[in-house]
Amino acid sequence: METIHLNRENLATWQEKARPNVMALGCFDGLHHGHCKVIKTALQKAKEKKVSLTVMSFFPHPKTVLSDGKERVHYLMPLSEKEERLRKLGVNTFYIVHFDREFANLPPEQFVAKYLINLGGIHAVAGFDFSYGCKGVGHMDRLKDDSGGIIDVTKVAKVEYRGEKISSTYIRKKLLEGEVEELFRLFGHFYEVKCVWDGVLLKTYPYYTLPAPGRYDVTLKNEMGSMKTEVIVMEKQKGLKCVIQIPSFMEGRLSIVWHRHIQEENVQTQDEKILIF
């Protein structure tokens, strides 16, 4: 898979190199069940048309730019992890469009012309609520007209869990409420955060969201092995503590797999018996 960071300065270069493709559109933060349905639908269309599969995403998050930085977005995964997951889903090209005010103000027709048609898009696939162009007035029901009939369109229906739309926003809400056990049903796997253990502290890498302060059942793992344990998320997400001593073979890069929030009444209160590292 080729990853291309698109901006106004290099757009013309990549337009010249583009070949016909089916393009999946969205931010795809977290790559939950809803996102995967969009990408798998696009992959099927690409196979039918015998062209490559492209995913177009946007960074930084539009909410951050459109709020002039006043709205903080709790990212679910960094771009590097998104790349790895997209590669496994069969994506050939991953465009990361630099999202700024000038890009946000593009009329819908110009977005479609410059970023879809001129980048080889012959078929666009996105969720039912995907929007584009100035003030988000572009939507999937008008995209074919905005392309002058050049691009076919597939609008993917809402994916739900317990009557709620599965979305990155919904997942962030669950995380910030500490309901990590719900995430398996939204992702298809437990939420995982990469971090480093320096022998004293667990420090998470950027662009992950820690769950609400509290105590959690987790698995720590790296290339050498894994162990089940409990960690404590400190107030205001300032850091993580493990309730037992972490073995030396886990020092360095590792992952935290979040299983369950331990309710307060189930937490040990004899703190003098707990080793905090």
Which token pair is 95? 């465009």
Residues 50-67 have pLDDT tens digits of: 999 999 999 999 888 888
Q: Based on the domain organization, do 203 and 151 belong to the same domain?
A: no
Q: Based on the domain organization, do 196 and 87 belong to the same domain?
A: no
CA 47 to chain CA centroid, nearest Å: 25
Residues 30-43 have pLDDT tens digits of: 999 999 999 999 99
Q: Based on the domain organization, do 114 and 215 belong to the same domain?
A: no
pLDDT class for 246, splitting at 50, 70, 90? confident
Is the residue at 44 inside a domain? yes
- Predicted model pTM: 0.88
Q: Tell me the CATH number at 15.
A: 3.40.50.620
Structural domain containing residue 80: 2-157
Residues 113-170 have pLDDT tens digits of: 999 999 999 999 999 999 999 999 999 999 999 999 999 999 999 999 999 999 999 9
* Dihedral sign of CA atoms 250, 251, 256, 262 in order: positive
Residues 174, 183 contacting (CB under 8 angstroms): yes
Is the residue at 171 inside a domain? no
H-state helical runs in the chain = 11-17, 33-49, 62-66, 79-88, 101-104, 108-111, 143-146, 168-176, 183-187
Residues 55, 23 contacting (CB under 8 angstroms): yes
Q: Is 70 exceeded by the pLDDT of residue 251?
A: yes
Q: Is 70 exceeded by the pLDDT of residue 266?
A: no
- Where does a domain end: 157, 179, 205? 157
Phi then psi dihedrals of residue 170, to 5 deg: -65, -40
Q: ∠ CA(68), CA(111), CA(104), 5° rounding?
A: 5
